């Protein structure tokens, strides 16, 4: 029973409620000495008392005992995709009730808790009321904080910090995000050279294949980071058309060099969409429609016969093992159906109102809708 941590949990829960042993004993109908023996690992409560104790402290019996139910990576992936499909097809609160049950059941399985937090983040905007959206983000942030406070896995903890930061940003707590992330992302930190050092170490150790594989993954992630940064750069310079045009031209060169539209059509669609917003904001109709046509091409590629999954290509040909090892594997963070709805609704942005009745806009929308309906 020592491995179940019942004694430690009982002490912690009692202290959190600011109760004495005697007060707990009175509630349970046992002696103070019995409580003392439980906390000192000298004896255990009768099994019939466990539901009463767990109910009093509002925890599950597993949590009370310290029993850590762990899910495999495959089980986590399956649950995540199942919940994604549920969000697309069932009432929000019904899915949230299911998610709450799973979080309580696997409250010590930190890899699952992290993906549960990601579900909160990616689906909070499904709530119609802003207050409910805020509640969901706060619940997700609380899950992240539990991971940060109690998980010993550095990678999972760092990911939880990032997810929580996204949530805080959506909650309007920008200053808190800056306080947390600014020291971690200082460009002068030597940790930014970890990838390069590790590649050299693999090579020096005679593991050339590992060096090549990791080098390729590092390049791929840097490419995604470059495009993602460019999308944000366009957003920050909406009224500076010259800067945006230079950015669009340069990133288009990157797209051509790496066949990016095929490699990552989702991010390509995001880039072309943001470019269209820039041109629309500057009243450039021809350029806006041109970017929306490219957005359409990326969306059609995204929702074509291939699943919307991560993949390499003829150049990035050493990534499959890495992709398979990701928490969600190659699957997207949102269901295919929800992503399709977002692709269509994106065309309703107010900046595109001036082009709503043009033949080009009607054709772009029609092609996207027909492609998605035919999935």
Assign residue 52 the CATH number of its domain. 1.10.260.40
pLDDT exceeds cutoff 60 at 2 = no
User: What local confidence, expressed as pLDDT, does residue 4 receive?
Assistant: 66
Residue 1 has pLDDT above 60, yes or no: no
Q: Same domain, yes or no, for 9 and 53?
A: yes
**Running DSSP on this structure, what letter comes out for residue 359?**
H
Task: For 280-295, write each residue's pLDDT tens digit.
Answer: 999 999 999 999 999 9
Does pLDDT of 313 surpass 60? yes
Calculate mean pLDDT across residues 119-132: 94
Q: Is 332 domain-assigned?
A: yes
Structural domain ending residue among the three candidates 133, 152, 181: 181
Together in a domain, 93 and 123: yes
Tell whether 81 and 51 lie within a shared domain.
no
* pLDDT, the chain, mean: 90
* pLDDT for residue 351 is more than 90: yes
Q: Which of 157, 181, 205 is the last residue of a domain?
A: 181
In a domain, 128, yes or no: yes
167 lies in the same domain as 100? yes
116 and 40 assigned to the same domain: no
Determine the structural domain holding residue 177 and report its residue range. Answer: 73-181
Same domain? 173 vs 87: yes
CA distance 135 to 202: 46
Instruction: Say yes or no: 56 and 83 in one domain.
Output: no
HEC states along 82-98?
HHHHHHHHCCHHHHHHH
Q: Write down the pLDDT at residue 69.
A: 66
- Residue from 153, 136, 87 nearest 327 by CA: 153
Q: What is the CATH number of the domain that holds 94?
A: 1.25.40
Look at residue 231 and tell me if it is in a domain. Answer: yes
Residue 105 in any domain: the answer is yes
Domain count, the chain: 3
Residues 20 and 94 in one domain: no
* Residue 139, domain member (yes or no): yes
244 and 160 housed in the same domain: no
Give yes or no for residue 256 having a pLDDT over 60.
yes
Task: Using the 3D structure, point to which of 65, 89, 113 is the last residue of a domain.
Answer: 65
Would you say residue 375 has pLDDT above 60?
A: no
Comparing CA positions, the residue from 264, 265, 345 lying closest to residue 301 is: 265
Q: With 50 as the cut, is the pLDDT of residue 213 above it?
A: yes
Q: Quickly tell me which residue has 């009692």 as its tokens.
A: 14
Q: How confident is the model at residue 374 (pLDDT cuts 50, 70, 90)?
A: low
Buried b (16+ CB within 10 A) or exposed e, 196-215: eeebeebeeeeeeebbebbb
Q: Is the pLDDT of residue 67 over 80?
A: no
Give the pLDDT score at 150.
Answer: 86
Higher pLDDT, 274 or 9: 274
Q: Determine, yes or no, domain membership for 245.
A: yes
* Stronger pLDDT, 1 or 174, i.e. the higher one: 174
The C-alpha atoms of residue 322 and residue 213 are separated, in whole angstroms, by: 9
Decide if pLDDT at 58 tops 90. no
pLDDT at 28 over 80: yes
Same domain for 364 and 323:
yes
In this structure, the answer to whether residues 27 and 84 fall within a common structural domain is no
**313 domain residue, yes or no:** yes
For residue 194, the SS3 value is helix
Give me the DSSP letters along 104-170. HHTTT-HHHHHHHHHHHHHHGGG-SSHHHHHHHHHHHHHHHHHHHHH---HHHHHHHHHHHHHHHHH
In a domain, 191, yes or no: no
Residues 32 and 168 in one domain: no
């Amino acid at each position: 029973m020592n491995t179940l941590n019942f004694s430690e949990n009982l002490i912690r829960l009692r202290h959190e409620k600011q109760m004495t042993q005697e007060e707990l004993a009175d509630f349970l109908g046992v002696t103070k000495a019995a409580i003392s023996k439980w906390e000192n690992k000298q004896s255990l409560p009768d099994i019939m008392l466990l539901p009463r104790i767990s109910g009093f402290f509002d925890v599950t019996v597993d949590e009370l005992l310290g029993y850590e139910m762990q899910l495999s990576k495959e089980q986590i992936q399956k649950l995540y995709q199942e919940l994604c499909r549920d969000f697309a097809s069932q009432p929000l609160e019904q899915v949230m009730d299911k998610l709450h049950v799973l979080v309580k059941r696997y409250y010590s399985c930190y890899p699952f808790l992290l993906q549960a937090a990601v579900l909160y983040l990616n689906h909070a905007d499904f709530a119609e009321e802003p207050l409910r959206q805020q509640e969901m983000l706060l619940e997700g942030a609380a899950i992240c904080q539990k991971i940060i406070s109690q998980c010993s896995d550095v990678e999972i903890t760092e990911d939880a910090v990032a997810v929580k930061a996204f949530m805080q940003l959506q909650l309007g707590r920008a200053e808190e995000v800056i306080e947390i992330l600014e020291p971690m992302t200082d460009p002068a930190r030597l940790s930014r050279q970890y990838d390069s050092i590790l590649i050299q170490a693999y090579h020096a150790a005679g593991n050339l294949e590992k060096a090549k594989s990791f080098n390729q993954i590092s390049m791929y992630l840097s490419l995604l980071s470059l495009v993602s940064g460019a999308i944000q750069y366009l957003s920050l310079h909406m009224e500076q058309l010259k800067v945006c045009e230079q950015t669009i031209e340069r990133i288009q060169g990157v797209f051509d060099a790496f066949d990016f539209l095929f490699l990552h059509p989702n991010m390509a669609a995001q880039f072309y969409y943001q470019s269209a917003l820039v041109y629309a904001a500057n009243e450039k109709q021809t350029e806006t429609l041109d970017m929306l046509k490219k957005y359409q091409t990326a969306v059609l590629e995204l929702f074509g016969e291939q699943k919307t999954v991560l993949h390499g290509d003829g150049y990035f040909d050493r990534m499959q093992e890495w992709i398979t090892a990701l928490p969600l594997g190659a699957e997207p963070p949102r269901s295919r159906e929800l992503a399709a709805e977002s692709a269509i609704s994106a065309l309703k942005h107010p900046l595109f109102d001036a082009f709503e009745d043009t033949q080009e806009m009607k054709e772009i929308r029609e092609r996207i809708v027909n492609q998605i309906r035919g999935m």
